[in-house]
Amino acid sequence: MKRFINSIFLFLLFIQVYSQVKVESNLSSVEMLVGQQVELNICATTPQGSHVEFPKEGLIPAGIEFLGAIEKEPETIEDGRVRHSRSYVLTSFEDTLYYLPPFVVKVDGKEYKTNKLALKVLTVDVDTTNYEKYYGPKSVQDNPFMWSGEWSAPFWLSFIIIILFSITYYLYLRLRDNKPIIAKIKIVKRVLPHQKAMMVIEEIKADKMVMAEDPKDYYTKLTDTLRKYIEERYGFNAMEMTSQEIIERLMSTDDPKSLEELKQLFNTADLVKFAKYSTLINENDANLVNAVDFINQTKVEIPESQSTIKEQLTTEEIRSKNSRLALQITISVLCTLLLLLFGYVLYCVYELI
C-alpha cells in the first residue's frame, strides 16, 4: 500500500514538472519571394535551472537553405519560469510550398516537439516571350580618362581662378591700407557788412584806454573798419582810395548832408596819422559815435544766409583719390569675372560627373 501511494505521488510530480515545460515555433512570415529571408523562431519555456538543447540546422528540409542562427538571452517570465529562444535565418530559391516538421527540443535530456509549420515560396512572373530584352549583369568597366577633351578646360580655368583671386586679394589689401581722401565741406554763416563793422567797433570800445595813449592806431583801426564796410556795402575798392575819393564816391549815392560827419571823421584821422594832430577832449568818442551813426544810416538788412565752402584738395590727394577709385573698379571687375568663371567650372564638372 505504501509503494502504491509513493508511485501515485511520483506520477503526479512528473505530470506537474512536465506541464511546466512548453515548446513552440513560428515563422516571421508564412510567405516570401524567391531569395528573400525569413526567421524560424523556436521557444522553450522551462523551470529555472533547466538545460535546453535546440535542434541542429541539419534537420531543415531540403530546398530551404540555412543562413545562420541567432542566439537570444533567456527571459524570466511569470511563475519564475524561463523562456529560451533561438532564431534560424532561412531562404529558398525554389517556388513551392514547404512542410516544416516538428522540431525536437531537449529539456534536461527529455525531448519535446514543436508544432508543425508551412512556408510558401513565391516567384516573380517573367515574360519568357521577350527574353532577349533581359541581359545578364555586366562586368566592371574601366572608362578611359580623356584629359585633353574633358578635364583640361576646368583644370586650367581653376588655375586662372586661383591667380585672379590672389590678385584680387592683393588689390584689396592695397585698398584697405590706402585711406580714402574725403573733401571737407565747411558751412560758413554769412555775416552782413554792418555786423562785421559793429563787431570791430565793439572791440575798439573795449580798448578805449589803450587807444587813448596812441591816437594814430585808434584812428587807423576805425577808418579801416569804415573802409571795409563801405567796400562791402557799396561795391568799390575803398581800401585803395584816399579819404577824399571815398567821400566823392559816396556823394553820388547818398545824401551829401549825411556825409558831413563822415567827412569830418576822415579829415581828423588824416591829421592824426600824417600831421601828428592831437585830438581834443572827447573828440575820439564823438568820431566813434559818428562812425556808428553812418553805419546805422546806410546799413541794409537782409536775411542771414549760409554759404558752403568745399575745401580744395592738393595734387597728391587728388592722385591718391583717383588711385583708390581705380582700385575699387578693378576689384569689382575681377570679382565679377571670378564668379562667372567659378560658375562655369562648376557647370563643366557637373556635366562630366
Task: Enumerate the domain spans of the chain.
Answer: 20-124, 188-306
Note the pLDDT of residue 133.
66
Contact 83/44 with Cβ under 8 angstroms? Answer: yes
Q: What burial letters (b/e) apply to 235-271, b meaning 16+ CB within 10 Å?
A: eeebeebebeebbeebeeebeeeebebbbebbebbbe
* Residue showing cell 506520477: 11
Instruction: Report the CATH fold assignment for 20-124.
Output: Immunoglobulin-like (2.60.40)
Please tell me the distance from the alpha carbon of residue 101 to that of residue 10, in angstroms, as a whole number.
33
Statement: residue 131 has pLDDT above 80 = no
Q: For the chain, what is the mean pLDDT? A: 78
Which of 112-126, 133-147, 157-171 bottoms out in mean pLDDT, i.e. has the lowest?
133-147
pTM over 0.95: no
Q: What is the pLDDT of residue 203?
A: 84
Predicted pLDDT of residue 18:
45
Q: What is the pLDDT of residue 12?
A: 46
CB 348, CB 154: distance < 8 Å: yes
Residue 58, pLDDT > 80, answer no
Please tell me the predicted confidence (pLDDT) of residue 338: 92
Banded model confidence at residue 237, pLDDT cuts 50, 70, 90: confident
**Bridge partners for 70 per DSSP:** 87
Question: What does the pLDDT look like over 260-306, one tens digit per residue?
Answer: 777 888 888 888 888 777 777 677 778 788 888 888 888 877 655 55
CA distance 269 to 279: 10
Model pLDDT, residue 17: 46
Most confident of 56-60, 130-134, 165-169, 243-247: 165-169
pLDDT in tens, 28-55: 888 888 888 888 888 888 887 788 888 8
Model pLDDT, residue 153: 80
Helices (H), the chain: 2-19, 152-177, 193-206, 208-213, 215-234, 243-251, 260-275, 283-298, 315-352
